[in-house]
Amino acid sequence: MSDELEAAGLASVGALSAGGTADLQGQPCRNCGVMVKHRYCPNCGQLAASFHRPFYSLVAETVSDSLALDGRIARTLPKLLFRPGALSRDYSAGKRARYVPPFRLFLLSSLIFYFVAFAFINSNGVNALEQIETGEGPALSEEESEALSEYLSQNGGLNERELEDIIERARANRTEAEQEATSDAVPDQPVADSEESESEENNVNLGSNELGERLEAAAERTFENPRLFTTAAETWAPRLSLILVPLTILALSLMYAWRRRIYVYDHAIHALHLHSWIYLSSTLAFGLSALMGGWVAGLYYSIALPVYTMFSMRGAYGTGYLQAFLRMMVLSFFWLVSLTALIVALVILSLLAV
């Protein structure tokens, strides 16, 4: 996961509430030197707290303030999750003090999503490995067993996708060896045919330019050690996903260009809230899919996501059902195209980083 995103998310956790033990009341402000009579400095507004307390005390205080019934997080999440568009409408109308700031909420939501997603991906191969060890899974050939043992000795673990790649390569090597053994009895092809096949291979070869050569070499290293690609993807995925927010703002601005009372600021607030909901609900969908099966994720992406997006646009902008539905379809197509481009960029950047 991106270190920058994780640091920003963790920094946001401590700023969710306006709480904190003001243990420096009646003393000069540590920031500007003005005498502090209450919780905050009357000059610079800094909280009169030293935070020089045991770590568990700071964590307990942050959690207590953040999850309190009168805290901003308790007023923000229910409205975000169950009242589409209402949070964006209130925030744009100036009701901001009672809610978590949109960008901070977006950072926390994305941090939670990527933490759960990559933890789920990295632990996905445990069941498959247990089946092989207990003999319940498919029987492995000698080549497959050697390849699996070599990989485990080098990396100490694997996921399901890596396991499939290892077995598939071992089977391919075995098939190639069998074909070479039987090709001794087949006469050699004419020189013209071999030259023609070589020219066709050169036309398809990705190593015809510098970028292609780098990608080809990176692909070979990825096949040898898929974990390198996974680690690079964990670094680039959060960074590239940030691009979706300004792209969503652009799409919303174009769809509501003739609404002069709606500004780019309003679209930015709505885009951040919409992506925050997507991250949080996707995290829940991941967990339910692991417990109940992949059909939960199918229902989420085919029904829950478009329905919430439609009602969110209706609630944030006050449009009718038909207009909200049509704009939801346009935005969904825009997301599909953008995600496709970002996934291609993610694969290329991850390969180049291997």
Domain limit, last residue, from 67, 89, 106: 67
Same domain for 98 and 39: no
Provide the residue range defining the domain that includes 323.
1-17+72-125+225-354
- Give the number of domains in the chain: 2
Choose among 339, 69, 48: nearest CA to 347.
339
- pLDDT tens series, the chain, 354 aa: 545 554 454 444 444 444 456 678 888 988 898 999 888 898 988 888 776 666 666 666 666 655 554 578 888 999 999 999 999 999 988 888 889 889 989 988 988 888 888 777 665 544 444 444 444 444 555 555 555 555 555 555 555 566 566 666 666 766 666 666 666 544 444 444 545 555 455 444 444 466 666 666 666 666 666 666 677 777 778 888 889 999 999 999 999 988 888 899 999 999 999 999 999 999 998 888 878 888 888 899 899 999 999 999 999 998 899 999 999 999 999 999 998 988 888 878 777 776
Is 158 among the domain residues? no
Residues 37 and 85 placed together within one structural domain of the fold: no
Six-digit token string for 36: 């502090």
This prediction has a pTM of: 0.61
Determine the Cα–Cα distance for residues 41 and 48; give it in Å rounded to an integer: 7
Query: Does the residue 140 lie in any domain?
Result: no
Burial of 152 (0-12, 13-18, 19+ CB in 10 A): middle
For residues 7 and 24, state if they share a domain. no
Spatial separation of the C-alpha atoms in residues 217 and 211, rounded to whole Å: 10
32 and 8 in a common domain:
no
Does some domain include residue 133? no
C-alpha neighbours within 13 Å on the C-beta side of residue 92: 22
Q: Is residue 173 part of a domain?
A: no
The reply to whether 349 and 261 lie within a common domain is: yes
Domain match, 27 and 95 both: no
User: Do residues 337 and 348 both lie within one domain?
Assistant: yes
Indicate whether 60 and 93 sit together in one domain. Answer: no
Q: Same domain, yes or no, for 12 and 96? A: yes
Cα angle 231, 236, 238 (rounded to 5 degrees) comes to 110
pLDDT tens digits, residue range 13-50?
A: 444 444 456 678 888 988 898 999 888 898 988 888 77
Q: Which of 48, 67, 86 is the last residue of a domain?
A: 67
- Give 252-306 pLDDT, tens digit per residue: 999 998 888 889 999 999 999 999 999 999 999 888 887 888 888 889 989 999 9
Claim to verify: residue 321 and residue 270 sit in the same structural domain: yes
- 237 and 293 housed in the same domain: yes
Asked if the structure places residue 284 within a domain, the reply is yes
Give yes or no: residues 24 and 94 share one domain.
no
Does a structural domain hold residue 168? no
> Has residue 149 been placed in a domain?
no
Residue 349 located in a structural domain: yes
DSSP 180-239: HHHGGGSPPPPHHHHHHHHHHHHHH-GGGSHHHHHHHHHHHHHHH-HHHHHHHHHHHHHH
